[in-house]
């Protein structure tokens, strides 16, 4: 399982690195280094496997039903990337420790960096496509955090947001592509996908799938026309750029092309799309890189260009081109990381990155200059440096490809132009910065950086040289296994030698070198031209325009629909529901009445219905006289519970009955603080309109009800009915569903209830409401003591009511009843005491602190569920047994009773909390008079 740990260690380390920074800012750098090393060590035991020709797959089942496993694989390609991510990651960690200023928070930086490292490792080591996508999204998120690390800077925030928007949208497209791909082969495992290339390519949905996946890869790898986010991501600290834009983030896109190469490549669509994107990106990036005055801007566009080069190689689609692509991935990672680090040193020492001001630095930092020159030479493709080797393979591949196609000079010609520009911008990076006169008005006097800040650059530059001079002894084995990993078969023969004799590729290299020098020498008129052309081709402007349009559209829609008027919103809502319902019904072409046999109505039912209609209409008619309307509405609730009784739902009837009581008491208490009458303010036309809308809504609801009721249906009820007694140990199926089959739902529902109670408590805590001094008719409120007969009666009834609720609770598992109903009955019994005897009398006998009751209820519910986990059953599985009690008889003891107790406590607690605190406000609204009247009674 070591691959899992390789991925997990950076995630855990991210938290540690952020935490440890409180003990000193450098601690997190040490911690981050240790974490990266630990991940390398975890990887170590598996390193040999790819060299022995094995593909390691380690799997932990996660959601097997969805084909989603925590599955990791290690083959040559994964190994190469894991080594680059961890190796360059270590160097960046070392470099950043010197780069970051005193005021920058180290913990946050290294936390984000490790988070990103873990996500990248996840991408390259995933065996499962969905898992890969999750890590893919995590890189989008963590790179957002890294790019926006300097949160106080506007450009950092904008750049980060743009990167997130572009790569996030790409990720969404890729999800669609992955789902299509997974459904084509019937598995989300890479092993299966890679082995079924022919099946995939012949699938009718191949093209949409390919486009979606390529959208993901191209946005991530900044391919034209999605390249514009990358230069704006340069607002990040330079160590971040060195990491993200050399070996990691932008390489994720080309990694995906390489990963899925055997499954997707080899079709015309693949060649056209991938080569087209690669070639245009290669040219555009190379052109813009030359004319950027910002040091990092130059590197950003050259990165775009090199990514285009790699994409183009994979697009060519031959095995040899894929080998060249992998090789250039390695080389680009090394020379670009070192160049970014060099740029960071220059920025750090000069205080600016503007190449018009940074000149002649050779005098101040010859050592850094030497390192930068080596790296730049590798970037330009000068012989004896690693970039030369892969670039020559690249030139050779374009020639081979074009030999079989018409327009044979076009592709080689275009890539030579790109090569010329690459030489020119590499030359500019060196000549403009280290020579070309004297520095212009620098904020600082530059000097060589601290010793250890140069070490990462030295290591990378050494690799560039070693690979460039002795390829066969250094990179060859790793390249070979990585290429095997890409192709999923042995790579073709290739020769890594520096000298192949005079061939087309060599001639192209020579043209590029000479052309590049000439272009740079004659750069001044070109720069003038470029300044004039600037802004003509600006993808960022298009992005901004789209974004602005989207926001404007959203704003317009919101302003049209939401005018700040609840009545209008509700009207729009109801009319939309009506329209959708009508369209759905008319579009379906179904008849209103189904085939189910009807139940004949009896006289009592007709009477109850008539009563209900009268009461409902009466409520509306009287609604401006609020107290009367409320009382009438209470009758309505009781009639509804009669419907439940009639149609075999005793539990619902009991619940409705008790809830009705609590609701009416609540609304009565609330009404005390509100006007007793509603003014007549709606005009008649408006009332008629509302009556019309209400009539339509009611008609729609009735039609819907009718069509549902007259249609036969299939239910899953049989399962519950059959398993209720043997599985749940209870005869009352409704209760067993609540506490056992769907116990998790119930746990959620009592949590909502508890939250509502606590929310109301919080809302009422600091609220002061003035109580009315007199009633609606001008009569002063009566401060009489509580009516004696009622007080005496409720006190007598309390034990009886509590006994009833215990009875209802205990029988609930087998007969109508249960925690919800028992809880409501208890709550009503206690509320009666408040109503009849006053708050103070009741408080002196009973705690008013109900939070522990709610908490205990939730805890009991949760613990009962967890208990079944301890015994190895799924969450909330109930256990039961029958015990024989003397006198009472056979009694069943189910663990579900404990869960029901939790429900009971939450219902009692929340209901009382709401009502008691509202009741307390009555006291607060008339403090003086209450004091004089209460003690008489208590």
Partner 1 sequence: MLEELSSMEALIAVIIGVLTACGVYLALRARTFPVVIGLTLLSYAVNLFLFITGRLTVGLPAVISDQAAGYADPLPQALVLTAIVISFAMTAFIIMLALKARAELGTDQVDGRLDAEDARDARGGEHG
CB of 557: closest distance to partner 1 in angstroms? Answer: 20
Cα distances (Å, whole numbers) of residue 510 to 135, 373, 397, 416, 659 = 42, 19, 16, 10, 88
Identify which of residues 476 and 921 has a Cβ nearer to partner 1 in the complex: 921
Q: Counting contacts by CB under 8 A, is residue 702 touching partner 1?
A: yes
Closer residue to partner 1, CB minimum distance, 37 or 920: 920
Query: Is there a contact between 123 and 139 (Cβ–Cβ < 8 Å)?
Result: yes
- Residue closer to partner 1 by CB (options 565, 576) is 565
Task: Provide, rounded to whole angstroms, the least separation between the CB of residue 934 and partner 1.
Answer: 23
894 has which bridge partners? Answer: 880
Of residues 594 through 633, those in contact with partner 1 by CB under 8 A are 596, 598-601, 605-606, 609, 612-613, 616-617, 619-620, 623-624, 626, 629-630, 633
Report 854-913 residues binding partner 1 (CB under 8 A): 907, 910-911
Exposed / middle / buried, residue 298 (Cβ in 10 Å: 0-12, 13-18, 19+): buried
- Compare residues 409 and 621 and give the one whose CB is closer to partner 1: 621
Burial category of 581 from C-beta neighbours within 10 Å (exposed 0-12, middle 13-18, buried 19 and up): middle
- Residues near 469 by beta carbon (within 8 Å), at least 6 away in sequence: 384, 498
Between the alpha carbon of residue 11 and those of residues 18, 36, 68, 135, 859, the distances in Å are 11, 11, 20, 11, 31
Quick check: 922 binds partner 1 (CB under 8 A)? no
Binding mask 812-851 for partner 1 (x = CB under 8 A): --xxx---x---x---------------------------
**Member of 574, 631, 804, 862 binding partner 1 (CB under 8 A):** 574
Residue in 667, 828, 836, 876 binding partner 1, rule: CB under 8 A: 667
Q: First vs last Cα of the chain: how many Å apart?
A: 71
Cβ closest to partner 1, residue 498 vs residue 643? 643
For position 920 contacting partner 1 by CB under 8 A, the verdict is no
Q: Which is nearer to partner 1, 210 or 667 (CB)?
A: 667
Could you tell me which stretch among 413-421, 655-663, 802-810, 894-902 binds partner 1 (CB under 8 A)? 655-663
- What is the CB-side half-sphere exposure of residue 724 using CA atoms within 13 A? 19
Note whether 146 and 234 are within 8 A (CB).
Answer: no
- Count of CB atoms within 10 A of residue 162's CB? 23
Asked if 914 interacts with partner 1 (CB under 8 A), we say yes
Closer to partner 1 by CB, 554 or 721: give it.
721
Residue with token string 């069509």: 707
d(CA 688, CA 705): 25
Interaction with partner 1 in 533-572: which residues (CB under 8 A)?
Answer: 564-567, 570-571
Shortest Cβ 836–partner 1 spacing (Å): 22
For residues 379 to 418, the per-residue mask of contacts with partner 1, x marking binding by CB under 8 A and - elsewhere, is: ----------------------------------------
Q: Residue 910 Cβ, how far from partner 1 at the closest point, in Å?
A: 7
* Cα 305 to Cα 326: distance, rounded to the nearest angstrom: 16
Instruction: Using the minimum distance from each CB to partner 1, give the nearer residue, 545 or 783.
Output: 783
- Could you say whether residue 793 binds partner 1 (CB under 8 A)? no
Taking Cα atoms as reference points, which of 36, 213, 16, 185 lies closest to residue 107?
16
Instruction: Out of 49, 169, 414, 693, point to the residue binding partner 1 (CB under 8 A).
Output: 693
Q: Kindly report the three-state secondary structure assignment for every residue of 614-677.
A: HHHHHHHHCCCEHHHHHHHHHHHHHHHHHHHHHCCCHHHHHHHHHHHHHHHHHHHHHHCCCCCE
C-alpha 273/C-alpha 315 separation (Å) is 8
Residues 753-782 that bind partner 1 (CB under 8 A): 753, 756-757, 759-760, 763-764, 767-770, 772-774, 776-778
* CB nearer to partner 1: pick between 333 and 831: 831
Q: Which of 49, 134, 414, 659 binds partner 1 (CB under 8 A)?
A: 659
**Dihedral sign, Cα of residue 15, residue 19, residue 20, residue 26:** positive
Q: Among residues 266 and 772, whose Cβ is nearest to partner 1?
A: 772
Chain residues 316-345 in contact with partner 1, contact rule CB under 8 A: none
Quick check: 802 and 897 in contact, CB under 8 A? no
The correct pick among 544, 749, 892, 934 for binding partner 1 (CB under 8 A) is: 749
Q: Measured from the CB atom, is 406 or 648 closer to partner 1?
A: 648
User: How far is residue 194's CA from residue 366's CA, in Å, rounded to a whole number?
Assistant: 50
Of the pair 301, 720, the CB lying nearest partner 1 is at 720
- What CA–CA distance (Å, rounded) separates 222 from 245? 10
Residues 729 to 748 in contact with partner 1, rule: CB under 8 A: 731-734, 737-738, 742, 745-746
Which one among 705, 788, 881, 936 touches partner 1, defined by CB under 8 A? 705
């Amino acid at each position: 399982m070591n691959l899992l740990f390789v991925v997990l260690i950076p995630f855990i380390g991210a938290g540690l690195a952020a935490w440890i920074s409180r003990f000193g800012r450098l601690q997190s750098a040490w911690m981050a280094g240790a974490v990266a090393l630990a991940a390398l060590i975890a990887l170590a035991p598996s390193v040999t496997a790819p060299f022995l020709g094995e593909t390691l797959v380690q799997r932990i089942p996660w959601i097997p039903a969805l084909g989603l496993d925590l599955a990791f694989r290690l083959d040559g390609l994964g190994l190469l990337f894991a080594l680059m991510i961890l190796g360059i990651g270590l160097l960046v960690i070392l470099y950043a420790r010197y780069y970051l200023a005193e005021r920058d928070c180290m913990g946050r930086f290294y936390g984000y960096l490790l988070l990103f490292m873990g996500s990248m490792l996840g991408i390259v080591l995933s065996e499962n496509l969905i898992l890969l996508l999750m890590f893919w999204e995590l890189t989008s998120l963590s790179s957002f955090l890294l790019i926006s690390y300097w949160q106080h800077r506007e450009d950092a925030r904008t750049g980060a947001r743009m990167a997130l928007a572009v790569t996030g949208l790409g990720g969404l497209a890729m999800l669609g592509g992955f789902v299509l791909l997974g459904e084509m082969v019937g598995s989300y495992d890479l092993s299966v996908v890679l082995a079924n290339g022919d099946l995939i390519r012949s699938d009718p949905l191949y093209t949409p799938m390919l486009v979606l996946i390529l959208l993901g890869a191209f946005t991530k790898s900044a391919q034209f026309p999605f390249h514009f986010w990358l230069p704006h991501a340069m607002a990040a600290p330079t160590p971040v750029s060195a990491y993200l834009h050399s070996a990691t983030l932008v390489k994720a896109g080309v990694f995906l092309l390489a990963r899925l190469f055997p499954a997707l490549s080899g079709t015309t669509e693949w060649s056209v799309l991938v080569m087209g994107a690669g070639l245009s990106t290669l040219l555009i990036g190379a052109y813009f890189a030359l004319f950027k005055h910002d040091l990092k801007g130059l590197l950003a566009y050259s990165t775009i260009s090199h990514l285009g080069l790699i994409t183009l190689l994979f697009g060519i689609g031959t095995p040899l081109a894929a080998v060249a692509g992998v090789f250039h991935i390695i080389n680009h990672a090394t020379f670009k990381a070192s160049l970014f680090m060099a740029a960071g040193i220059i920025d750090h020492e000069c205080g600016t990155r503007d190449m018009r001001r940074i000149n002649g630095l050779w005098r101040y930092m010859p050592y850094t200059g030497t390192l930068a020159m080596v790296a730049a030479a590798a970037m330009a493709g000068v012989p004896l440096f690693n970039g030369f080797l892969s670039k020559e393979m690249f030139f050779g591949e374009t020639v081979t490809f074009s030999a079989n196609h018409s327009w044979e000079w076009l592709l080689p010609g275009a890539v030579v132009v790109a090569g010329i520009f690459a030489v020119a911008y590499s030359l500019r990076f060196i000549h403009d910065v280290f020579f070309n006169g004297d520095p212009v008005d620098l904020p600082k006097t530059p000097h060589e950086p601290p010793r250890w800040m140069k070490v990462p650059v030295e290591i990378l530059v050494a690799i560039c040289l070693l690979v460039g001079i002795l390829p066969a002894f250094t990179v060859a084995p790793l390249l070979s296994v990585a290429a095997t990993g890409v192709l999923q078969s042995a790579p073709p023969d290739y020769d890594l030698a520096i000298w192949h004799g005079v061939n087309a590729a060599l001639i192209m290299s020579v043209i590029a070198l000479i052309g590049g020098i000439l272009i740079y020498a004659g750069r001044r008129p070109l720069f003038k031209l470029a300044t004039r052309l600037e802004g003509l081709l600006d993808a960022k402007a298009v992005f901004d325009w789209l974004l602005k349009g989207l926001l404007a559209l959203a704003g317009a829609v919101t302003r049209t629909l939401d005018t700040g008027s609840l009545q209008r919103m509700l009207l729009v809502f109801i009319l939309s529901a009506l329209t959708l319902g009508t369209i759905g019904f008319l579009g379906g072409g179904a008849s209103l009445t189904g085939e189910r046999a009807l139940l004949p109505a009896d006289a009592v039912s007709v009477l109850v219905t008539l009563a209900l209609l009268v009461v409902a209409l009466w409520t509306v008619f009287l609604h401006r006289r609020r107290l009367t309307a409320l009382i009438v509405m209470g009758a309505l609730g009781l009639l509804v519970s009669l419907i439940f009784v009639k149609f075999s739902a005793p539990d619902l009837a009991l619940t409705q009955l008790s809830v009705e009581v609590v609701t009416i008491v609540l609304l009565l208490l609330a009404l005390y603080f509100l006007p007793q009458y509603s003014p007549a303010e709606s005009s008649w036309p408006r009332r008629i309109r509302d009556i019309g809308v209400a009539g339509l809504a009611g008609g729609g609801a009735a039609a819907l009800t009718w069509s549902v009721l007259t249609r036969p249906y299939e239910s899953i009820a049989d399962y519950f009915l059959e398993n209720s007694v043997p599985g749940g140990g209870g005869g009352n199926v409704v209760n067993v569903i609540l506490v056992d089959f769907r116990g998790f739902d119930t746990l959620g529902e009592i949590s909502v209830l508890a939250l509502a109670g606590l929310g109301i408590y919080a809302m009422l805590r600091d609220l002061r409401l003035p109580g009315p001094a007199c009633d609606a008719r001008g009569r002063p409120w009566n401060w009489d003591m509580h009516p004696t007969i009622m007080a005496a009666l409720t006190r007598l009834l309390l034990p009886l009511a509590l006994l009833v609720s215990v009875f209802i609770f205990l029988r609930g598992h087998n007969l109508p009843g249960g925690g919800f109903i028992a809880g409501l009955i208890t709550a009503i019994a206690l509320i009666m005491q408040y109503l009849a005897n006053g708050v103070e009398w009741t408080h002196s006998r009973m705690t008013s602190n109900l939070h522990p009751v709610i908490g205990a209820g939730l805890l009991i519910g949760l613990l009962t569920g967890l208990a079944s986990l301890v015994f190895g059953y799924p969450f909330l599985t109930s256990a039961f047994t029958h015990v024989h009690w003397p006198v009472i008889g056979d009694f069943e003891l189910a663990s579900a009773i404990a869960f029901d107790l939790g429900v009971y406590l939450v219902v009692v607690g929340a209901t009382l909390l709401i009502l008691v605190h509202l009741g307390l406000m009555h006291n607060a609204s008339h403090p003086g008079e209450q004091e004089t009247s209460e003690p008489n009674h208590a």
